[in-house]
Amino acid sequence: MAGSNLLSWILWMPMLGVLGVLLMPKDKTTWIKSWALINTVITFALTLVLYCKFDQTQAGMQSAFNVAIPWIAQFNIFYRLGVDGISMPMTILTGLLFMLCILSSWTQIKKSIKAYFALLLLLQSCVFGVFFALDFFLFYVYWEVMLIPMFFLIGVWGGENREYAAVKFFLYTFFGSILMLVGIVALYFATNQSVDSFNILALSGGKFTQLNVTIFGQAVSFSKLFFVFMFIGFAIKVPVFPFHTWLPHAHVQAPTAISVILAGVLLKMGTYGFLRIAFPIFPDSAKYFSTAIAWLGLINVIYGALCAMAQTDVKKLIAYSSVSHMGFVMLGLAAMTVEGVNGAVLQMFNHGTSTAMMFFMIGILYERSHHRWIVKPDGSRGYGGLYTQLPVYSIIFIIGMFASMGLPGLSGFISEALIFLGIYQKFTTITVLALFGLLIGAAYLLWMFKRMFFGDVNPEVKEYNDMTKLEVAYMIPLCIAVIVFGVWPSPILNIMKASVGQLVSLMATF
Amino acid sequence: MHLNYLANIGRYIPEILLVILMVGLILIEATYKEDEKDRRYIFITAIIGLVATFVAILFNMGGKPQAIFTNSIVIDDFSSLLKLIMVLGTIAVVYLSRFSKDIYETLKTEFVIMAVGILIGGFLLASANNMLTLYLGIETLSILSYVMASLKKNDERSSEAGLKYALYGGVSAGIMLFGLSHIFGVLGTIQFTGVAAMIPNLTTVQMAILMPSFVLFFAGIGYKIAAVPFHMWSPDVYEGSPTPVTTFFAIVPKIAGIAVLIRVTSVFFTVESPMKVGWIGLMLVVSALTMTVGNVTAIGQKSVKRMLAYSSISHAGIMMASLVMIGDVGIRAVLFYAITYLFMTLVAFYITSIVQDKYGNDHFDRFSGLIYRYPWMAVMMTVVMFSLTGIPPLAGFVAKYNILSSLINSKFYTLAVILGLNSVVSAYYYLKIVRLMVLKQPESEEAIEGFGFLNQMIIVVMTLPIFVLGIFWETIMSFANVSKLFIN
Amino acid sequence: MDYTITTVAPIVLLPFFAFVINVFLAKRVPIAAVALSTLAIFGSFIYALRIFLDFQNVYAVGYHIHKVFTWFDLSAGEHLFKVNMGIYIDNMTATMLLMVTAVATLIHVFSTWYMHDDERFARFFVYMSLFTSAMLGLVLSDNLLSVFIFWELMGFCSYSLIGFYYEKEGAGNASMKAFMTTRVGDVFFLMGILIIWIIVGNTTFVDIYAAIGAGKFGGVFTSFGIGLPIATIAALCIFAGTMGKSAQFPIHVWLPDAMFGPTPCSALIHAATMVAAGVYLSLRMYPLMEAGHILTFIAYIGAITAFGAATIALIQTDIKAVLAYSTISQLGYMVIGIGVGSYNASFMHLITHAVFKACLFLSAGSVIHSIHCQEMPQMGGLRKKLPYTFFAMLLCCFAIAGVPFFSGFVSKDRILGDALLMAMENKAFIPVALLGFGGALLTAFYMFRMLFLTFFGEPRDHHIYDHAHEEHIGWNSNIPLLILSVFTLGLFYSGSFTGQGEVNLFGSKYEWFQTLIHKPEASHLEHFAHYEKEDFGTTDTRDKVELPKAAYDANHGLSEEAAHHVHFVHKIGAILSIFIAFAGIFLAYSMYITKKLDPNWWATTFSGWRKALQNKYYFDDLYIGKIIQKGLLPFNNLLAKFDSGIYDRYVVDGTAVLNRWAYNISRWFDNNVVDSGMVDGTGASVRLMNVVLRTIQSGKVQLYIIVLVVVLASYVLTLRF
Amino acid sequence: MFSNTLFLLSAVLTVAGALMVVYTKNLMHACIYLLASFFGIAGLYACLGADFLAATQLVVYAGGVIILMLFAIMLTGGTGNKVNRYGLEKIPAMGNKKTYFTAGFTAIVSALILVKITMSAMSGNPAVANLTNEPTVERLGTILATDHILAFEISSVLLLGALVGAAVISRPRKEIHD
Amino acid sequence: MINLWAYLGISFILFICGIMVMIARKNIIALLLGVELILNAAALNFAAYTKFSNGNLDGHIMSLFIIIIAAAESAVGLGIVIRFFQLRESIHIDDASTLQN
């Protein structure tokens, strides 16, 4: 079947790109860039093909695309891929964002171009791997490998404090994933090392509700213990409140394209992990901890927003806004209702597009100003009057900003509304408080906008040029996505609803 | 006269080969004048001899476990595999010493002789089946190591290293013997064979003697593998010794020590008894401490060699962790770990040694911007560092994964988590090198002579297994699986 | 009468498509963009007019057009979850549509003149189109969710329009303030939607009515451990939306600042779109307000707003500011109307106010355009230079002041009458009535103060006066004003003198407004459950002839006796109103024309109050100065410091204090210098351990041996065998 | 009776020698006390019926190791100046109060371990001699040449290595210049 | 009668003395003396156990090898000490602490 290998094609296409980049001579930068672009375009096209062939009525994994090849048969480790309604939007998002990132890096990256594009493509492959993997071991491998390109991409091409940020990112994530690994192995042995012991799907369904483990002489519920482990692993990636401090550093220091990837795709892997792994495998514990998760999500929303308000570095501000927005996703997940979880998945997609826009825009601005201060450390205005100076830029910025604010008609609204609808059914107080997150969310963005774009033109700003054609070109797809899915979310919702529904009904039985 | 006690000596050929090699080397060495610089025949002979040993061990593999020399020695696949690793390590170290500037040219022959001697000790340890052989093995390892550590005769630090090693080793050996003597007193035999059956029948009083004695006994082994708190000599010695010696110390004595620890554990503590619980508790604590102490101390180091020394302590701790679970999974895991550990250590030390030869010291800063000068080497070092950290899909990850899974299989969740968290801590200092190599600008543009084409090729070849074992580890695991067939 | 989607949707889609096209057109062919926008809204007007005429002629009770389509569908398995969007047109919608399109069309036309010289001429129309289409979409919506969507879109448009002159520092502040303040209400509104959604299962108006009728809102809402009736909470939340959008006390502060935008946009915001939307929403949700028993609360909010804003308007010198505060005040009247159950009158006031306020703003725009100045003390005597504007403004002032025969009188008098009625029945409403009448007095005064200061007397600034443009009749300069001013006459809304059937001038046929608009009575809500919803694209096949036609009932469905009492009270109210209106005008006349009363005397006598008024009762100071700058921002900074400083640095990276402590220990222990750049990114415990361990690793063999022995001993002694 | 006397003498010699090694100030004296202690141990071996061991002990320790030690002491203590180029005393005093205090502490700690072992050992084992006082040389020789042939042979590697090593290490420094 | 405990006691004392020498002394050669004491304590144990516990001559073999190897070890150790002395002109144990941390 031609279709059945599609996932492998998508997964390995960027790897092909890496090979190609490596084989090219170092100084032929245009070749390298073009090759990377062609590669990502093909990949994106393949994801669209996947989307077209997607059977919306089928809940769970699409049987047409499943791949299962023994990898290490002795330990029942398989090369097992699959795609369902939850990973499908993420796949498209990944394909899209990487393509745009290549374009964005076209002029912004000036040193070690070959290595940069090779690592970027490697990263793409790993991200696809995470979203496709159905074998726990494979999942973990991709989850971890991704750290390596990220580490270098932040560390080599980042801002001033890049090393610190890169190491912090690495250590944080590594810490989380190690706990997850313990969980994975525990599951492997809890299911008697059978053929399906690494099969994420086969593990799902709450098979571990009765098991207990002994820690320091205390009997602890297996399911609760390892849910917490997995939770920490994924929560760091999201990032959920006490584990979020890597994010501002990583975002601020990373080059534009990497910030985009980080915020647009990588954060989603955390919540994707909840949906694919933590919730289906330990539904009882997820239910048990749902209040705690909801409170954490709430803290994320409010705390992230409040922190964002105080920032004077615009990129940091957006980074904190990501914390806040991912909090909504957590709220949706904690709700465990059809509306909430659908909203969460949609929010994952929508946040991916809107925050990517914001980071791209900041990157474009940075190309001109070489600083990112809203208010400089000496108290003077960093920008001011950008609206007058850069009209096109401003309009696109407004679209991105309002999308990220959740203005109805743009993408953020529907997902947030669904999340609220979902969470309200379970946690009234949290809903009430979280709604104020929307308020603060609007406040910090508008305040930032006011300080940067309104008023008379800063002398410094007068030298800036408006966006180039290339820059406009890679912003357009995101603008379209933000607007189209704001008005007509069905294309995304339809593919996810069957899978989400299945998950929610599983949760409902516990 | 029937030489019963010499029966099956055919399986002892590898060791015999080594002894012959050692004597031969001494003879060849005698033919050189004192100030003769180029002593290539020593190296050629050594490598040929070692390869022959390697082949001989390979021939030995697959046979049934067999105790020879009246139960002095047991030849089984487990020990053979570890011996293979030790031989490989020795070959690599001998080659490293060939071009290393850290050893005086005129003493390189002695280095090779000592290395072969220590290897014999390691072999003895790996196969030891009674206390005497064990003691002999440990002492062979130790005494020759003292010499090796202080081989850089004009260097105070090297002498100091040897001195510390000797003093510490003496005390540890004494303590171990004291423990052994009481074990002998209780069990009435120095043989390992058949002891397992005696353990459950012991009286409480006997048990009360035996267990502390085992702790004392463990001091001797622990000192060899540098388990906490017997590790304290190791960073000093590793730092003070010439780099090839350090490399050698990081591989052969450690692996031999792990081998004997596994042997002891499987001999004395296979049967369920209060003693087994106590022993495993000891192993738990020691391995957790070893990993943690090794990692935590490694963080602040300025010298790469010293950092690697501490890191090797923590790796020993991780290998020990699998001891808490003696069974196929644990043994398999530790074997696999030893294999990957060999390659990772070798590559790391090769590169460190070459860099050190160029600059005269091995501070972290010397690695700055290596990627701009020797991209391949920097990439290989990076790969090794990530592998040591335990990032998939590199071999280091699979190795750690196996240990972890053996731990979890026997429900030692706490230790598993400690192991995991230690990986995170270790990531910090491993990343430090990576950070310097990749993210910093080079200090100078001078060429490093050590990175000739051949050496680079060798390093790359040694790195390859790290990749291959990381992805296609099934074969090697089955291989390790075979060797879990054990004595008893 | 066969409404399909093609005959309804263009009302909203025409301006919307104009917007979409203009986004691309505006920069290249500005003139075409302007023309397109204007024509589009005019097209909408035509469609709206058709609908309105149909509805008025049929006069069918409960006739409605309701078309729905599925926006998205999340049904999975047994769980059904569908979000429908749709169009719902009943009499009220039809009236509203006509008002919005008509006023908007005239404002568009006026803008082509007013904005002509602006460099962002075309862009202004882009926003205007979007704004109008959003408002029309809101009016056409059949459910709260889409109301909210368009509601927020209007918020965005107002943000853009208020910040239209983005070079001005104040514009940024004002636009942000407008958006944020309304957003406060929006958040509650969203909460209300959620509550309703969960209870009803969707947010369609008719379903909500039916659910209220069926008593589904009987539950208790618990949050923070406090339980309240769910209907009350839902109603309060929805009303909070109204408060935000319709600038009710205490979140009215944004509306005066909204005048930073171009004047036509103020006209649109203040008259036809934004603020009307709030009141419209409350009217739509009237059954819920009733069920939630919050009408008293609403009435008080309205009364405070009506009176308070009127007092502030007294001392404003900026012509647009006066108008802005008058808008707040008038909106207060509408809200009073809701609160006292005067549904019909409240809606009527919405319509009449839209007309005269649009006219007032356009007139003000005309004045400003002519003299390039907004300060009234610098004007004076413009009557001669701007005769048409003066005429339009005069009519509007009569209307807003509540002079008989003008629309303002008809609608406001009915609200006040009902307030009086309520006050007589229920003592709690006495303050409402008092404030209402007091506000009416002030309204008459300040409106005529504005008129007199602007157009009468001698020119106070001759420079400005001399350079003022002479006004000539022009199709897009003052014709729109005149058209609007004509519709300030009361006869367009009511056939009677008072608008309540008293002194019937033209016969009950002209009481179309009261015939059309009916309060959804709490006792008749069940029948909404039988309302039919049709799919998009299908033609309405119901037989309209069968529907009973509504007839005007002067007694409002009450018994003769009860009605008599009501009429009596209304009469008193009307007389009072007339008296008050003239009193206010007279006061203004004697102050500013005959100068018998000295305004300065008032100013000095009530200086404390005046100061409060100048500072707008310190609301801005409270919100921005105190709450945001003193409270929120320092808190944010603290939090951010905590996050990147304390939490990250100390807890995650390891504490500096602990580090220093450990450092001292190590010094004390062995004089070791700890690598200052030692660890970053590892926890405190790791650092501390590192120091301790490295201290032990002192290089002294004897220490090593001691450690060995001690640890061995501890192993031996602690391990249990 | 003889054996008891021998035991008592040897025991006193051993213990006293060992204690004196700890307490004496002079290194040379310490070495001699150690020799005495070794003699005592040889006597104990004799009491234990380990005649061959006793002989070996005398030959190897008394005859070899102690002489080596003495040589070493002389080699290191031969030069006149007491302070080296680092300003440190070359031939340090044997210890001071502080070190003895530490040593005492460590001794107590280690005694705790040993007590734990030996108390049980003393109480739990039959205190009957199992070994007749026959000469053990022949039996030892047989065992050494059969059962422990490997240890016997392989120890030659150790000794050879030690030989080479000791030679390498202590060769004079002038040869090495690189 | 002279029992096992007497021998064990003596070896106990030897061991303690050895440890004390290792800790208390500052002279490296003295430390080597301590090592010898400890080794002898162990060797004595082996012989004592052979006599009183099991009669297995393997104990004697162990003692024998301990003696031999101790000799070898002290030879190498002294060689290193002398080397160290030649380089640093000191046999103070605290001078052997340049390798640290």
Q: How many domains does chain D have?
A: 1
Residue B51 has a pLDDT of 93
Residue C668 has a pLDDT of 42
| Cβ-based contacts of A181 with chain B (< 8 Å) | 401, 404, 420
Token reading at A75: 């330990």
How many residues in chain B? Answer: 488
* Residue C121: partners with Cβ closer than 8 Å, 6 or more residues away: C30, C34, C115
| Cβ-based contacts of E62 with chain B (< 8 Å) | 131-132, 135, 180-181, 184, 190
| AA identity, residue A446 | L
Per residue in D108-123, pLDDT (tens digit) is 887 777 777 777 666 6
Of the pLDDT bands very low, low, confident and very high (cuts 50, 70, 90), residue C505 is: low
Give the sign of the dihedral formed by CA C708, CA C710, CA C713, CA C719.
negative
Contact call for A505 and C648, based on CB within 8 A? no
Interface pTM (ipTM) of the complex? 0.84
Rounded to whole angstroms, how far apart are CA atoms E4 and B211? Answer: 20
Q: DSSP states of B102-166 as a string?
A: SS-GGGHHHHHHHHHHHHHHHHHHHHB-BHHHHHHHHHHHHHHHHHHHT-STT-HHHHHHHHHHH
CB pairs < 8 Å spanning A and B: 87
Preferred mutation among B167, B195, B205, B239 to probe E, highest tally of E CBs within 10 A: B167
Mean pLDDT score across all residues of chain B: 84
Q: How many domains does chain B have?
A: 2
Mean pLDDT, range A490-510, rounded to an integer: 86
CA nearest C28: which of C123, C116, C115, C118? C123
Residue E23 has a pLDDT of 85
Mean pLDDT, range E34-62, rounded to an integer: 86
| AA identity, residue E78 | L
| Cβ-based contacts of D159 with chain B (< 8 Å) | none
Most confident of A206-215, A408-417, C487-496: A408-417
| Cβ-based contacts of C705 with chain D (< 8 Å) | 106
Mean pLDDT, range A201-206, rounded to an integer: 82
B83 belongs to a structural domain: yes
Which domain range does residue B188 map to?
A: 1-271
B393 belongs to a structural domain: yes
For chain C, say whether B422 makes contact (Cβ under 8 Å). Answer: no
Mean pLDDT score across all residues of chain A: 87
The Cα of A81 is separated from the nearest Cα of chain C by a number of Å equal to 24
The Cα of C647 is separated from the nearest Cα of chain D by a number of Å equal to 43
Rounded to whole angstroms, how far apart are CA atoms B127 and B121? Answer: 10
Token reading at E68: 């031999």
Rounded to whole angstroms, how far apart are CA atoms B369 and C635? Answer: 44
Rounded to whole angstroms, how far apart are CA atoms B199 and B204? Answer: 11
* Residue C275: partners with Cβ closer than 8 Å, 6 or more residues away: C245, C246, C247, C255, C269, C327, C331
With a CB-CB cutoff of 8 Å, which residues 643-662 of chain C face chain A? 643-644, 647-648, 652
Mean pLDDT score across all residues of chain C: 79
Residue D104: closest CA among chain E residues belongs to which residue?
E20
For chain C, say whether E94 makes contact (Cβ under 8 Å). Answer: yes
CA nearest C709: which of E77, B264, E21? E21
> Which of B271, B305, B323 finishes a domain?
B271
| Cβ-based contacts of E81 with chain B (< 8 Å) | 163
E55 belongs to a structural domain: yes
Contact call for B181 and E46, based on CB within 8 A? yes
Instruction: Indicate the burial class of C59 (C-beta count within 10 angstroms; 0-12, 13-18, 19 or more).
Output: middle
pLDDT over 90 (residue B87):
yes
E82 belongs to a structural domain: yes
Q: Which of D102, D170, D173 lies nearest to residue E23, judging by beta carbons?
A: D102
For chain D, say whether B213 makes contact (Cβ under 8 Å). Answer: yes
Number of neighbouring beta carbons within 10 Å of residue C612: 14
Q: Which of C694, C698, C706 lies nearest to residue E23, judging by beta carbons?
A: C706
Mean pLDDT, range A36-65, rounded to an integer: 88
For chain B, say whether A166 makes contact (Cβ under 8 Å). Answer: yes
B290 belongs to a structural domain: no
pLDDT over 80 (residue C680):
no
| B127 plus B91 within the same structural domain | yes
Per residue in C542-576, pLDDT (tens digit) is 555 556 666 666 666 667 777 777 788 888 888 88
Of the pLDDT bands very low, low, confident and very high (cuts 50, 70, 90), residue C678 is: very low
The Cα of A131 is separated from the nearest Cα of chain C by a number of Å equal to 23
Contact call for A424 and C195, based on CB within 8 A? yes
Mean pLDDT, range C509-514, rounded to an integer: 72
Of the pLDDT bands very low, low, confident and very high (cuts 50, 70, 90), residue A1 is: very low
Token reading at B377: 């080497």
CB pairs < 8 Å spanning A and C: 162
Per residue in B201-237, pLDDT (tens digit) is 778 777 888 888 888 888 888 888 888 778 888 888 8
CA nearest A478: which of A412, A387, A364, A400? A400
- D-C interface (Cβ pairs under 8 Å ≥ 3): yes
Q: DSSP states of C613-647 as a string?
A: HHTGGGHHIIIIIIIIIIIIHHHHHHHHIIIIIII
Q: Which of B167, B215, B296 lies nearest to residue C686, judging by beta carbons?
A: B296
For chain B, say whether D88 makes contact (Cβ under 8 Å). Answer: no
| Cβ-based contacts of B278 with chain C (< 8 Å) | 719-721
Number of neighbouring beta carbons within 10 Å of residue A295: 18
| AA identity, residue B17 | L
CA nearest B400: which of B295, B319, B314, B291? B319
Greatest Cα pair distance in chain D: 66
Which domain range does residue E39 map to?
A: 10-93
E101 belongs to a structural domain: no
Most confident of C552-566, D87-101, E79-93: E79-93
For chain B, say whether D170 makes contact (Cβ under 8 Å). Answer: no
| B309 plus B266 within the same structural domain | no
Which domain range does residue D48 map to?
A: 1-79
- D-A interface (Cβ pairs under 8 Å ≥ 3): no
The Cα of E23 is separated from the nearest Cα of chain B by a number of Å equal to 11
Mean pLDDT, range A349-353, rounded to an integer: 91
pLDDT over 60 (residue B488):
no
Preferred mutation among C708, C709, C711, C714 to probe D, highest tally of D CBs within 10 A: C709
Residue A222 has a pLDDT of 86
For chain E, say whether D56 makes contact (Cβ under 8 Å). Answer: yes
Contact call for E22 and C698, based on CB within 8 A? no
Preferred mutation among C666, C702, C709, C711 to probe E, highest tally of E CBs within 10 A: C702
Contact call for A185 and B474, based on CB within 8 A? no
Residue B346 has a pLDDT of 92
Q: Which of E3, E36, E63 lies nearest to residue D53, judging by beta carbons?
A: E63
Residue C670 has a pLDDT of 34
Token reading at C494: 């009511």
CA angle B284, B288, B291 (to 5 degrees): 140
DSSP conformational letter for A444: H
CA distances from D65 to D34, D71, E15, E35 (A): 10, 10, 18, 12
E60 belongs to a structural domain: yes
* Residue C491: partners with Cβ closer than 8 Å, 6 or more residues away: C405, C505, C506, C510
DSSP conformational letter for B57: H
Contact call for B188 and E42, based on CB within 8 A? no
Ranges assigned E (strand) in A31-144: 67-72, 77-81
Q: Residue holding tokens 């963080």?
A: B299
The Cα of B429 is separated from the nearest Cα of chain A by a number of Å equal to 10
Q: Where are the domains of chain A?
A: 1-175+244-274, 289-510
For chain A, say whether C228 makes contact (Cβ under 8 Å). Answer: no
CA distances from B213 to A490, B288, C144, C708 (A): 73, 21, 81, 15
Mean pLDDT, range C424-428, rounded to an integer: 83
| Cβ-based contacts of B184 with chain E (< 8 Å) | 45-46, 49, 56, 58-59, 62
Per residue in C155-181, pLDDT (tens digit) is 888 888 888 888 777 788 888 888 888
Residue B142: closest CA among chain E residues belongs to which residue?
E73
Question: How many C-alpha atoms does D170 have within 13 Å on its Cβ side?
Answer: 19
Rounded to whole angstroms, how far apart are CA atoms E40 and E46? Answer: 10
Of the pLDDT bands very low, low, confident and very high (cuts 50, 70, 90), residue A126 is: very high
* Residue A247: partners with Cβ closer than 8 Å, 6 or more residues away: A239, A267, A319, A322, A323
Mean pLDDT, range A181-193, rounded to an integer: 85
Residues paired with A69 in a beta bridge: A79
Residue C81 has a pLDDT of 81
- A-C interface (Cβ pairs under 8 Å ≥ 3): yes
Per residue in C291-303, pLDDT (tens digit) is 888 888 888 988 9
CA distances from C709 to B146, B265, C598 (A): 22, 22, 103
Chains that touch B (3 or more CB pairs under 8 A): A, C, D, E
Ranges assigned E (strand) in A202-345: 212-215, 218-221
Residue B91 has a pLDDT of 92
Q: Which of E35, E49, E101 lies nearest to residue B171, judging by beta carbons?
A: E35
Instruction: Indicate the burial class of D124 (C-beta count within 10 angstroms; 0-12, 13-18, 19 or more).
Output: middle
Number of neighbouring beta carbons within 10 Å of residue D102: 17
- B-A interface (Cβ pairs under 8 Å ≥ 3): yes
Pick from A453-457, C25-29, C655-659, D146-150: least confident? C655-659
CATH code for the domain in which residue E25 is found: 1.10.287.3510
CATH code for the domain in which residue D68 is found: 1.20.120.1200
The Cα of D4 is separated from the nearest Cα of chain C by a number of Å equal to 34
Instruction: Indicate the burial class of B206 (C-beta count within 10 angstroms; 0-12, 13-18, 19 or more).
Output: buried
* Residue C596: partners with Cβ closer than 8 Å, 6 or more residues away: C590
Token reading at C664: 């001292």
Share of chain D above pLDDT 70, in %: 76
Mean pLDDT, range B32-56, rounded to an integer: 85
Q: What is the CA radius of gyration of chain B?
A: 22
D36 belongs to a structural domain: yes
| B44 plus B177 within the same structural domain | yes
Rounded to whole angstroms, how far apart are CA atoms B122 and B258? Answer: 10
Residue B424 has a pLDDT of 84
Check: pTM over 0.90? Answer yes or no: no
Of the pLDDT bands very low, low, confident and very high (cuts 50, 70, 90), residue B307 is: confident
E41 belongs to a structural domain: yes
For chain B, say whether A211 makes contact (Cβ under 8 Å). Answer: no
| B304 plus B257 within the same structural domain | no
Residues paired with C220 in a beta bridge: C229
For chain E, say whether B231 makes contact (Cβ under 8 Å). Answer: no
* Residue A351: partners with Cβ closer than 8 Å, 6 or more residues away: A263, A264, A267, A268, A322, A325, A326, A329, A404, A412, A415
B281 belongs to a structural domain: no
pLDDT over 90 (residue A42):
yes
Rounded to whole angstroms, how far apart are CA atoms B350 and B94? Answer: 11
Q: Which of B229, B278, B299 lies nearest to residue C719, judging by beta carbons?
A: B278
pLDDT over 90 (residue A427):
no
The Cα of C681 is separated from the nearest Cα of chain E by a number of Å equal to 21
The Cα of B414 is separated from the nearest Cα of chain E by a number of Å equal to 29
Residue E68: closest CA among chain D residues belongs to which residue?
D60
Going by their DSSP bridges, the two strands A218-221 and C220-223 should be labelled as unpaired
For chain B, say whether D116 makes contact (Cβ under 8 Å). Answer: yes
Helices (H), C539-614: 560-592, 599-605, 607-614
Of the pLDDT bands very low, low, confident and very high (cuts 50, 70, 90), residue C655 is: very low
* Residue C542: partners with Cβ closer than 8 Å, 6 or more residues away: C532
pLDDT over 50 (residue C677):
no
| AA identity, residue A70 | P
Token reading at B249: 């110390």
Q: How many domains does chain E have?
A: 1
Rounded to whole angstroms, how far apart are CA atoms C419 and C565? Answer: 14
Per residue in B355-397, pLDDT (tens digit) is 888 888 888 888 888 888 888 888 899 999 999 988 888 888 8
